Amino acid sequence: MQGRTLQQIQSALRAGELTLKEIVQYYLQRIEQTRDLNIYVETWGVKAVERAESLQSKINNHTEDFPRLLGAVISIKDVICYKNHKVTAASKILSGFTSQFTATAVQKALDEGAIIIGRTNCDEFAMGSTNEHSAYGPTRHGSHPDHVPGGSSGAAAVSVQMDTCLIALGSDTGGSVRQPAAYCGVYGLKPTYGRISRYGLIAYGSSFDQIGILAKSAADISLTLAVVQGYDAMDSTSSDRSLYQHQLNPPSTTHLRIAYLEEVMNHPGLGQGIRESTRSVMDSLRLQGHHVEAVSFDLLDYLVPTYYVLTTAEASSNLSRYDGIRYGNRTDLATDIDTLYTKTRSEGFGLEAKRRIMMGTFVLSVGYFDAYFTKAQQVRRLIIDKVDQILSSYDVIVTPTTTTVAPELGASVQDPVAMYLSDVFTVIANLCGLPALSMPLAVEGTDLTSGIQFMSSAFRENILFDLQGYVAASGVNP
């Protein structure tokens, strides 16, 4: 299966060169071979094989029209619900919890023939950029085990990187799909806010969260997006506007208008190798006839503070439901209702989750609400307006996905501010609700990778896939 796209896998299935059971068994073998990386918190091998055998009849009966995701083996991040399967958000506070329903995105994938193989590790409640803040311990980078894979969907990225599945579903609140995709050398998409239903996604920051997709090929992400998108009556923020059509064409003669942000390319924290590699990609796009030019974005320094004020406020509200009363873990040391709440939450939440709950509670508190939360909402509006202004003149904004390559394990744990600042190039898409695609970027001077990020106006994911096709055709990037 290594190196094959879903289209190639389906061709082999039609030709009788492969069976679905053989595909599942291959991925299960890869999972066993990579146990030391701590990618999965649970696998469903027996059920996956049973489903493969059941679906095989579609091939044996020479069904002309395959379900669109037949042959796709998918991992799901441990914040995405799958009925009658455990889901814990990598937190002790949900230890042993079994989901009572299936996320809409998962159900749509299942309806089109996908096979779910297991749930992947992550930062607790998707709060983190390194996959080190998990009740199950850290996940390691696939090719450089002494380094982090990024986060919070770090294990989802490694599950694809190490060929333990074809496609991974993760979540992206501020870059949690795109940043680990960049570190692990795979593709990662954060769709337009509302493109994919959030029903069945455990909430962190509800106005930021989106289910995202990771794969080794843009074609597989494109097809998966076409399957799992669309309006859902269970999610009032979902949309059926301008449904995405999966159709990746060879690069045409159309020339795109591409903007890059001056302040990003001159950012003091941007690694020199990433800067040079990004410029090489932009130069190759110019040679193909695309219009690439710098624009000013004077709000760059406000992105991370605005993001963390708002997301921690929403997290404080969303995570208040985990109290030991209705579901999840409950302390054995309670003597009254107050100690039941405090001890359950103290025992159940990890350090980073506690930090963000406390930050969010503070910015929402009396006397500070207007100074922090209201002000952050006002700045968010300014950021949205500025980005909309740029995209009214350009098709795409291009930036590096990350400031550096993957750091070593433990390097960010003692400095949470440095971890927060590493999201500076990715949070903009979540603040604005816009789609963004990270594609692998080879970095000069190292065998670690980063990514190049394309962001477009809402519901224009097709432009992102077109642009990655131009980059791939240029030959300047793997």
> Which residues form the catalytic set?
77, 152, 176
Tokens 């406000």 map to which residue? 302
Tokens 């040079």 map to which residue? 276
DSSP 258: E
What CA–CA distance (Å, rounded) separates 344 from 358? 16
Length of the chain counted residue by residue: 478
Please name which of 155, 237, 248, 167 lies closest in space to residue 196, comparing C-alpha atoms: 237
Q: Are 123 and 138 in contact (CB under 8 A)?
A: no
Please name which of 136, 130, 141, 145 lies closest in space to residue 118, comparing C-alpha atoms: 136
Q: Are 403 and 424 in contact (CB under 8 A)?
A: yes
Cα 466 off chain centre by:
20
Q: What share of the chain is helix, strand, coil (3-state, %, to 5)?
A: 40, 15, 45
Tokens 């389906």 map to which residue? 10
Tokens 């997290």 map to which residue? 315
Which positions ≥6 away from 414 have C-beta within 8 Å?
none
Q: Which long-range contacts (CB under 8 A, 24 or more apart) does 2-10 make?
A: 2/163, 3/216, 5/216, 5/217, 5/219, 5/220, 6/69, 6/71, 6/72, 6/166, 6/167, 6/219, 6/220, 6/223, 7/219, 9/71, 9/72, 9/166, 10/66, 10/70, 10/71
3-state secondary structure 438-458: EEEEECCCCCCEEEEEEEECC
